[in-house]
């Protein structure tokens, strides 16, 4: 997607917002599942948990979108972020090794998300390797 070292993903079951960035530039992509799941509620006396099933095709596209980053922060409001990390760990351990953090963030604006990620990486000193 980009030549930027850092990436942040905000994901829920309806979309994934992906940003590759450096100190001054940002590249943005938004991915949607082919069959977005709207509000799923558990009903009394029914079989099943009422949770949205994992969308492996959606997770695969998100993993490919961040695969070229050197350091990745995964965020989101609920379980989709941990399901994504679990999927990546099982299907692409190389990308999983680049995930340096998983955080709960409700629904930030794009600017708030990128600012949060910049601060996160600055605090953790996740800078790209210097050219020699």
| In the chain, domain spans | 6-34+50-123
Query: What is the greatest pairwise CA distance in the chain?
Result: 64
Q: What is the pTM of this model?
A: 0.82
The pLDDT tens digits of the residues spanning 29-84 come to: 999 998 765 444 445 555 554 555 678 999 999 999 999 999 999 999 989 999 99
Decide if 62 contacts 31 (C-beta within 8 A). yes
In terms of CATH, what superfamily is 6-34+50-123? eRF1 domain 2 (3.30.420.60)
Decide if 33 contacts 64 (C-beta within 8 A). no
Q: Is 73 helix (H, G, I), strand (E, B) or coil?
A: strand
Whole-number Å distance between alpha carbons of 128 and 84: 24
Whose tokens are 């709960």? That residue is 104
């Amino acid at each position: 997607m980009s030549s930027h070292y850092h990436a942040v993903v905000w994901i829920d079951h309806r979309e994934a917002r992906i940003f590759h960035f450096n100190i001054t530039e940002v590249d943005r992509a938004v991915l949607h599942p082919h069959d977005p799941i709207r509000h799923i509620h558990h009903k009394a006396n029914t079989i099943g948990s009422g949770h949205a099933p994992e969308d492996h095709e959606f997770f695969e596209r998100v993993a490919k979108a961040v695969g070229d980053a050197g350091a990745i922060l995964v965020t989101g409001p609920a379980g989709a972020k941990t399901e994504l990390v679990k999927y990546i760990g099982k299907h692409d351990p190389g990308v999983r090794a680049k995930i340096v953090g998983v955080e709960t963030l409700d629904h930030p604006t794009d600017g708030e998300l990128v600012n949060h990620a910049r601060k996160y990486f600055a605090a953790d000193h996740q800078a790209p390797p210097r050219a020699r």
